[in-house]
């Protein structure tokens, strides 16, 4: 009952903050911020797309609307039927997203505790278990913390107030993670296909989804059999799970493409304005990503080479990460969320908000990280400097694009540091679990270094 009161309190605060800012004079200014609304996620562009559709004009004939026809018709329904409650719809979806993320954390930590209890009894001394184990008594508190962070995070808060359509994609991503954890393969893959139709890059999550489903199925089977075998080694059908999930994904994806084709009155024009727009990056409006500045300065005859080099980076790490993190597909999905934010051509702070909310799930890795303070300071300084340097560049005219790009470069560097530091902490902890804890004479954990 205590946890319910905590959640209710913070949900109330989250709703109050969102509605207060939406009704304030700052709402339009927030909605126009490039950190919050990109050319793909701007609600103003969505309204323009719906307006063109209502006038029997194609919203995909120009460079206005770049979301899927399914979402176009969702926005059309909202605008024509509940336009006076649009702000409440955004708030409701954002609050539900926070609660879903909290449940994802709770379920995944519950599975992880069962798995690690089996592993540590073989290699880790009882007195060292506290240093490495996930405290099962803290699972509820950690899951509540996930919801609280998302509800009160300025990044998710401002995305909701600015009515960025990324609020809906975050909801879909959270729902995908939850249904995957609950082993609802059909629903989770259908949601991922819909999400990929909207912004394409979540397609990289399919491997992690297949691995999580197979991992949880195996864990449940071993728990029923009371078999002490390590669950993360027992999944002999993971390859079959990945192949079947990929085939199922493309069936759903193809079905959504055909549905979009029918919604646009037998016209495939939307593909060029959605996928084509993301692949070719023709709009170089400044964002918090790494694409816009490079391709503004790029010579045209080098553009295609560097464009596809950048695009490949979004997917090239999936296979090596899947192999390295095969024992913990939950962590794989979390790292892929950070990669999504890093390599998308039009990222916003809402991409940052969803994975930072899930950070409490990995508090057992924090003691093994080395750069936590540096990364935190980089994110805070970038959050403060970005609007200041944008004002100096665009409003005052006393700075230039290099100032703002410097902040975005620092922001993305911080994300890279976060990925590498988390991966090192994960590998270090796995070493201790497998080989036992080794300490120095002063009682501290032995220092481990990666050797190349």
Cα 227 to Cα 115, 136, 216, 232, 362, distances in angstroms: 11, 21, 15, 13, 27
pLDDT, position 70: 95
Q: Is the residue at 445 inside a domain? A: no
pLDDT 10s digits, 280-318: 999 999 999 989 988 888 888 888 888 999 999 889 999
Task: Identify whether 313 is part of a domain.
Answer: yes
Q: Name the β-bridge partners of 445.
A: 439
In a domain, 82, yes or no: yes
Per-residue pLDDT, 192: 97
Could you tell me if 91 and 19 are in contact, meaning their C-beta atoms sit under 8 angstroms apart? yes
Do the beta carbons of residue 392 and residue 398 sit within 8 Å? yes
pLDDT value for 121: 66
**Cβ(417)–Cβ(378) below 8 Å:** yes
Let me know if residue 87 belongs to a domain. yes
In this prediction, what percent of the chain has a pLDDT beyond 90?
Answer: 67
441 in a domain, yes or no? no
- pLDDT value of position 296: 87
Interval 414-439: pLDDT, tens = 999 999 999 999 998 888 887 777 66
118 vs 368, residue with greater confidence: 368
Report the pLDDT averaged over residues 60-84: 92
Averaged pLDDT score across all residues of the chain:
89
Is the separation of the CB atoms in 351 and 336 below 8 Å? no
Phi, psi of 169 (to 5 degrees): -70, -35
User: How many Cβ atoms from other residues are within 10 Å of residue 451's Cβ?
Assistant: 4
Question: pLDDT at residue 452 above 50?
Answer: no
Q: What is the number of other CB atoms lying within 10 angstroms of the CB of residue 359?
A: 18
Across the range 238-264, mean pLDDT stands at 92
- The larger pLDDT score, comparing residue 402 to residue 450, is at 402
Structural domain range at position 171: 2-435
Return d(Cα 32, Cα 20) in angstroms, integer: 18
Domain count within the chain: 1
The more confidently predicted of residues 238 and 128 is: 238
What is the reported pLDDT for 231? 47
Contacts 24+ apart (CB under 8 A), 60-65: 60/264, 60/269, 60/270, 60/272, 60/273, 60/274, 61/269, 63/273, 63/277, 63/282, 63/283, 65/273
Q: Could you tell me if residue 442 is inside a domain?
A: no
pLDDT for the residue 275: 94
- Rounded CA-CA distance 410/413 in Å is 5
Angle, CA 442 vertex, CA 437 and CA 446 arms, to 5°: 35
From the list 345, 391, 369, 378, the residue with the least C-alpha distance to 445 is: 369
Q: How much is the CA Rg of the chain, to the nearest whole Å?
A: 23
Amino acid 399: pLDDT:
84
**d(C-alpha 34, C-alpha 288), whole Å:** 8
* Residue 230: inside a domain: yes
- φ/ψ region of 163 (left if φ > 0, alpha if ψ in -120 to 50, else beta) reads left
Has residue 452 been placed in a domain?
no
pLDDT digits (tens, 9 = 90+) for 183-227: 999 999 999 999 999 999 999 999 999 999 988 887 777 655 555
Q: 3-class SS at 445? A: strand
**Alpha-carbon distance 334 to 173, whole Å?**
11
Give the residue-averaged pLDDT of 272-279.
93
Strands (E), 136-241: none
pLDDT tens digits, one per residue of 2-28: 778 889 999 999 999 999 999 999 999
- The set of residues, in sequence order, having a beta carbon less than 8 Å from that of 434 and lying 6+ positions away, is 123
């Amino acid at each position: 009952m205590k946890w319910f009161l905590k959640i209710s309190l913070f949900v109330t605060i989250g709703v109050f903050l969102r509605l207060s800012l939406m009704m304030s004079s700052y709402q339009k200014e927030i909605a126009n911020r490039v950190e919050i609304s990109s050319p793909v996620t701007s609600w103003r562009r969505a309204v323009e797309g719906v307006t063109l559709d209502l006038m029997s004009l194609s919203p995909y004939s120009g460079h206005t609307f770049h979301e899927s026809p399914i979402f176009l018709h969702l926005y059309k329904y909202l605008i024509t039927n509940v336009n006076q409650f649009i702000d409440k719809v955004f708030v409701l979806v954002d609050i539900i997203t926070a609660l879903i993320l909290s449940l994802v954390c709770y379920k995944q930590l519950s599975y992880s505790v069962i798995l690690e209890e089996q592993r540590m009894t073989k290699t880790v001394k009882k007195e060292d278990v506290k240093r490495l184990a996930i405290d099962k008594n803290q699972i509820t508190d950690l899951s509540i913390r996930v919801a609280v962070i998302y509800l009160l995070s300025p990044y998710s808060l401002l995305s909701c107030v600015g009515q960025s359509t990324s609020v809906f994609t975050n909801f879909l991503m959270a729902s995908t993670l939850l249904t995957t954890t609950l082993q609802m393969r059909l629903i989770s893959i259908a949601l991922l296909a819909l999400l990929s139709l909207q912004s394409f890059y979540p397609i990289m999550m399919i491997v992690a989804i297949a691995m999580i489903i197979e991992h949880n199925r195996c864990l449940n089977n071993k728990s029923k059999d009371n078999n002490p075998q390590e669950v993360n080694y027992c999944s002999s059908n993971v390859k079959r799970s990945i192949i079947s999930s990929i085939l199922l994904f493309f069936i759903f994806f193809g079905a959504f493409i055909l549905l979009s084709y029918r919604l646009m009155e037998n016209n495939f024009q939307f593909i060029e304005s959605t996928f084509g727009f993301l692949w070719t990056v023709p709009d170089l409006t400044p964002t918090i990503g790494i694409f816009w500045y490079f391709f503004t300065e790029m010579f045209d005859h080098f553009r295609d080479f560097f464009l596809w080099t950048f695009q490949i980076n979004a997917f090239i790490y999936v296979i090596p990460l899947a192999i390295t993190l095969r024992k913990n597909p939950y962590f794989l999905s979390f790292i892929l969320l950070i990669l999504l934010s890093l390599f998308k051509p039009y990222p916003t702070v809402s991409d940052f908000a969803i994975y930072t909310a899930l950070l409490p799930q990995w508090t057992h890795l924090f003691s093994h990280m080395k750069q936590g303070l540096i990364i935190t300071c980089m994110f805070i300084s970038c959050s403060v400097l970005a609007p200041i340097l944008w004002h100096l560049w665009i409003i005052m005219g006393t700075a230039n694009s290099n100032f703002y790009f410097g902040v975005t470069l620092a922001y993305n560097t911080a994300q890279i540091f976060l990925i590498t530091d988390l991966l090192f902490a994960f590998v270090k902890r796995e070493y201790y679990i497998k080989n036992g804890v080794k300490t120095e004479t002063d009682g501290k954990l032995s220092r481990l270094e990666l050797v190349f």
